[in-house]
C-alpha cells in the first residue's frame, strides 16, 4: 500500500463540508449516510470504513436521527466538541430555515386554490410513502414469528386500543428483555473487509486524546447538557408561564426526542397523538401536509417537528394576531432545539465509551423488539393517513377516487419502480394541480 495518509483537515475545511452536507442531505437516513460514506470514506478518506460503520452501529442504537448523530460523531472525532457541535448543528440548520419559509407559505397561502390543488395531490403520495416505510422497516426487522407477533400486537394496541406510543415501546422492550433468544439480531451494517487506502482515522488508529473516557469530562458534558436544557426551559417558563404554548412544546418534544427509535416514522404517531389530538396545536390535515414538506427538504425527516412547532405557534397566535410569522418561527426554533439537544448528549457523552473498543456493536434484544413494534405503529399511521385522505368528510362522506388513483400511482412508483421520494412528491403535486381542471 503506497498511498499516503491524508492530511488532517482544518476546522474551516470541515465546517465547509458540514455546511454543504446540510443543503444536500436529501433521501432520508439511507441516502444521507450514503452521501457521507462516499465523501468521508471513499473520497476524502477522513475515516476508514470499519470506523465509519462502528460509529454508525452505535448511532443506530440511539433514539434520534442516526445520520445527524453520525455526522456529530465524526465531527467530534476530528475536531473535539466544537467539531461535533458544528457538524450536528449544520446538518439541521439549513432545513430549519427552509421549513420555516415553506411553513409560512403554507399557513399564509394554503387556502389559495393553486396551493390547495398542489397539496391535494401530495397527501395521497404521503400515504403511499408511509406504507412504503412500513414495508422497508418490516423487510429488515421481521425475521421470525416472535417479531411478527410483536408487530401485530403493536398495531392492534395503537389502532384498536389507542394505546400511547411510549407504552408500546416499553412493552416491546420488556418482551425482548424477557425472551432475548427470540430477538437476536446479527446487526445491521456488517464489517468491512479487505485492503483499503489508508485513512486519517484508520482501523488501527488509536482514539485521539479528547476521545478517551475520563470521569471529569463525563460530568462536565452531563452538567452542560442539564444547564442548557434547564436554562432554556426556565426562560420559557419565566416568559410565557407553565401553560404557555412554548413551555408545553419544549416539554413534549423533549419526551419525543427520547422515543425516536426506528426513525422519524416511528415517533410520528406519538407526535400526532400529542400535537393534534391532545394539545390541538394543528389539525390532522395540516399534519399530513407538514409531513409532505418534511419529505421535500434536506435534513432528517424528524425535522417535520419544526413544521409542527411553526403551525402550532401560528394557530395559537400566542404573540397576538399581528405576529403570526414571528410566533411560528419562534415555536419552530424552540421545538428544534429541544428535539435535537439529546442527540448531542448521546454522542459527546457516549462517544468515549464507544471509542474504547473498535469491535462491531450488536443490536440488543430489547431494541430489536422495539424495531418490530415500530412496523405495526407505522402501518397504523399509513391507515390513518389513508382514511383522512380518501374520506376527508368521514365514513359518511364521499370517497375521493382521484386521490385514490394518485395514491395507487405513487405506491406503484415506490414499490415496483423504486423511484425516489422527491420525484414521487413532485409528480403527485402536479397531478393534484391537474385535478383542478376536473373540478
Print pLDDT tens along the chain (439 aa). 457 889 999 999 999 999 999 987 765 676 688 788 888 998 999 999 878 877 876 787 788 888 899 999 999 999 999 999 999 999 999 999 999 998 998 999 876 677 777 878 888 887 888 788 788 778 867 888 999 999 999 999 988 888 877 788 789 888 988 888 787 654 444 444 445 789 999 988 888 899 999 999 999 999 999 999 999 999 999 999 999 999 999 999 999 898 766 566 667 878 988 999 999 999 988 998 888 788 768 888 889 999 999 999 999 999 999 999 999 999 999 999 999 999 999 999 999 988 875 543 344 577 678 778 878 887 887 888 788 788 877 777 788 899 899 999 999 998 998 887 778 888 988 998 888 776 6
Cα dihedral angle (412, 416, 417, 419), rounded to 10 degrees?
60
Distance CA(20)–CA(87), nearest Å, equals 10
Q: Which of 362, 374, 380, 378 is nearest to 172 (CA)?
A: 374
Class of residue 273 by CB neighbours under 10 A (exposed 0-12, middle 13-18, buried 19+):
middle
In contact, 85 and 302? CB cutoff 8 Å: no
> Whole-prediction pTM value?
0.76
Decide: 291 and 304 in contact? Cβ < 8 Å: yes
* Predicted pLDDT at 128: 87
Q: What is the pLDDT of residue 189?
A: 42
Residues 29, 260: Cα–Cα separation, whole Å: 13
**What local confidence, expressed as pLDDT, does residue 64 receive?**
84
Determine how many CB atoms are found less than 10 A away from the CB of residue 302: 27
In contact, 183 and 146? CB cutoff 8 Å: yes
pLDDT on residue 190: 41
* Confidence at residue 57, expressed as pLDDT on a 0 to 100 scale: 67
Amino acid at each position: 500500500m503506497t498511498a499516503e495518509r491524508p492530511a488532517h483537515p482544518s476546522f474551516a475545511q470541515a465546517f465547509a463540508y458540514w455546511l454543504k452536507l446540510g443543503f444536500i442531505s436529501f433521501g432520508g437516513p439511507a441516502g444521507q449516510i450514503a452521501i457521507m460514506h462516499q465523501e468521508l470514506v471513499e473520497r476524502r478518506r477522513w475515516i476508514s470504513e470499519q470506523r465509519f460503520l462502528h460509529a454508525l452501529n452505535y448511532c443506530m442504537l440511539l433514539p434520534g436521527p442516526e445520520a445527524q448523530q453520525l455526522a456529530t460523531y465524526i465531527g467530534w472525532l476530528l475536531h473535539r466538541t466544537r467539531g461535533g457541535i458544528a457538524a450536528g448543528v449544520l446538518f439541521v440548520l439549513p432545513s430549519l430555515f427552509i421549513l420555516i419559509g415553506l411553513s409560512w407559505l403554507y399557513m399564509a397561502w394554503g387556502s389559495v386554490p393553486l396551493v390547495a390543488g398542489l397539496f391535494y395531490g401530495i397527501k395521497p403520495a404521503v400515504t403511499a410513502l408511509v406504507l412504503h416505510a412500513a414495508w422497508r422497516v418490516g423487510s429488515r426487522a421481521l425475521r421470525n414469528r416472535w417479531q411478527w407477533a410483536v408487530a401485530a400486537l403493536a398495531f392492534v394496541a395503537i389502532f384498536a386500543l389507542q394505546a400511547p406510543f411510549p407504552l408500546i415501546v416499553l412493552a416491546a422492550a420488556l418482551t425482548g428483555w424477557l425472551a432475548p433468544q427470540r430477538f437476536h439480531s446479527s446487526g445491521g451494517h456488517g464489517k468491512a473487509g479487505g485492503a483499503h487506502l489508508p485513512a486519517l482515522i484508520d482501523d488501527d488508529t488509536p482514539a485521539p486524546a479528547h476521545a478517551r473516557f475520563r470521569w471529569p469530562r463525563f460530568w462536565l458534558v452531563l452538567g452542560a447538557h442539564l444547564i442548557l436544557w434547564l436554562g432554556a426551559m426556565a426562560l420559557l417558563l419565566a416568559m410565557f408561564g407553565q401553560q404557555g404554548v412554548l413551555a408545553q412544546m419544549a416539554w413534549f418534544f423533549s419526551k419525543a426526542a427520547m422515543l425516536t427509535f426506528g426513525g422519524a416514522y416511528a415517533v410520528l404517531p406519538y407526535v400526532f397523538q400529542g400535537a393534534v389530538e391532545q394539545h390541538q396545536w394543528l389539525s390532522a390535515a395540516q399534519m399530513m401536509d407538514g409531513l409532505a414538506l418534511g419529505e421535500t427538504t434536506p435534513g432528517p425527516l424528524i425535522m417535520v417537528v419544526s413544521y409542527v412547532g411553526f403551525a402550532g405557534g401560528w394557530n395559537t397566535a400566542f404573540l397576538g394576531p399581528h405576529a403570526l410569522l414571528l410566533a411560528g418561527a419562534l415555536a419552530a426554533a424552540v421545538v428544534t432545539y429541544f428535539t435535537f439537544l439529546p442527540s448531542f448528549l448521546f454522542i459527546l457523552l457516549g462517544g468515549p465509551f464507544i471509542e474504547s473498543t473498535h469491535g462491531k456493536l450488536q443490536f440488543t434484544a430489547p431494541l430489536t423488539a422495539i424495531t418490530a413494534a415500530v412496523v405495526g405503529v407505522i402501518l397504523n399511521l399509513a391507515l390513518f393517513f389513508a382514511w383522512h385522505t380518501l374520506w376527508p368528510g368521514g365514513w359518511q362522506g364521499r370517497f375521493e377516487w382521484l386521490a385514490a388513483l394518485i395514491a395507487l400511482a405513487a405506491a406503484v412508483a415506490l414499490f415496483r419502480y423504486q423511484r425516489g421520494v422527491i420525484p414521487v412528491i413532485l409528480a403527485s403535486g402536479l397531478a393534484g394541480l391537474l385535478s383542478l381542471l376536473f373540478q
